[in-house]
Amino acid sequence: MTATPPPTGSPAPTGSPAPAGPAVPAAAPPLAGLRVLDLATLFAGPLAATLLGDFGAEVVKVEHPSVPDPSRGHGPSKDGVGLWWKLLGRNKRTLTLDLSKAGGRRTLLRLAATADVIVENFRPGTLERWHLGWDELSAVNPRLVLARVTAFGQFGPYAHRPGFGTLAEAMSGFAAITGEPDTPPTLPPFGLADSIAGLATAYAVMTALTARDRTGRGQVVDMAIIEPILTVLGPQPLWYDQLGHVQPRTGNRSQNNAPRNTYRTADGTWVAVSASAQSVAERVMRLVGRPELIDEPWFASGAERARHADELDAAVGAWIAHRSRAEVVDAFEKAEAAVAPVQDVRDVMADPQYAALGSVTTVDDPELGPLRMQNVLFRLSETPGGIRWAGRPHGADTEEVLAELGLDAAERAALRAEGAV
Q: Of these residues, 54, 69, 116, 194, which one is catalytic?
A: 194
User: Residue 84: helix, strand or coil by DSSP?
Assistant: helix
Indicate if 397 belongs to the active site.
no
Find all residues with CB under 8 Å of 82, minimum gap 6, and list them. Answer: 71, 72, 73, 74, 75
Query: What is the secondary structure of 191-237 as a DSSP string?
Result: -HHHHHHHHHHHHHHHHHHHHHHHHS---EEEEETTTHHHHHT-SHH
* Backbone dihedral angles phi then psi of residue 249, each to the nearest 5 degrees: -75, 130
Q: Which helix (H) or strand (E) holds 400?
A: helix 398-404
Neighbours of 204 (CB within 10 A): 19
Residue of 302, 297, 301, 273 whose CA lies nearest to 287: 273
346 alpha carbon, distance to own chain's centre: 21
DSSP letter for each residue of 227-287: THHHHHT-SHHHHHHHH---PPP-TT--SS-SSEEEEE-TTS-EEEEE--SHHHHHHHHHH
Give CA–CA dist 43/199, Å, rounded: 11
In the DSSP assignment, the letter for residue 291 is G
β-strands 260-264, 270-274: how paired?
Answer: antiparallel
Q: What are the residue numbers of the active site?
A: 194
